[in-house]
Amino acid sequence: MLGGYFYKSHQAKNIAFMARENASTFVRDHSPTAGSNDAKVYIVEFMDPACETCSAFHPYVKGFMAAHPGRIKLVIRYAPFHDNADYFVKILEASRKQGKYWETMEVM
């Protein structure tokens, strides 16, 4: 039992180290974010603004954020694979420059 505890403790430290060392792979300076910068949990949502499944999933992410205020940071990364997705990304980025990103995201 004691050996298992130390093994799991060691694995957790390794995972935390890898997450810190590789954070820039997922969290870019230009990525839209919401939530606390001090959060220990990051959700990196790869989304296509023209994707119906992505739109259906986003309310669940919002629910997680609302259920754990200040404990989760949401990072949005674009994966524009659908037709016209590039157009939607341009709209979102233009709205972000105007300080209206999240409001626009709700409408889309």
The pLDDT of residue 30 is: 79
Give the span between the Cα atoms of 26 and 45, in whole angstroms: 9
- Domain extent listing, the chain: 29-107
Contacts of residue 54, defined as CB under 8 A and 6 or more positions apart, other chains included, come to: 47, 48
The pLDDT of residue 22 is: 62
What pairing do the DSSP bridges indicate for beta strands 72-78 and 33-35? antiparallel
The pLDDT of residue 5 is: 47
The alpha carbon torsion through 17, 24, 93, 55 (nearest 10 deg) reads -40
The pLDDT of residue 21 is: 64
From the candidate CATH numbers 3.30.70.270, 1.10.10.10, 3.40.30.10, 2.30.40.10, the one assigned to the domain spanning 29-107: 3.40.30.10
What single letter denotes the amino acid at residue 59? P
> What does the pLDDT look like over 87-107, one tens digit per residue?
999 999 999 999 999 999 888
Q: What is the mean pLDDT of residues 5-25?
A: 57
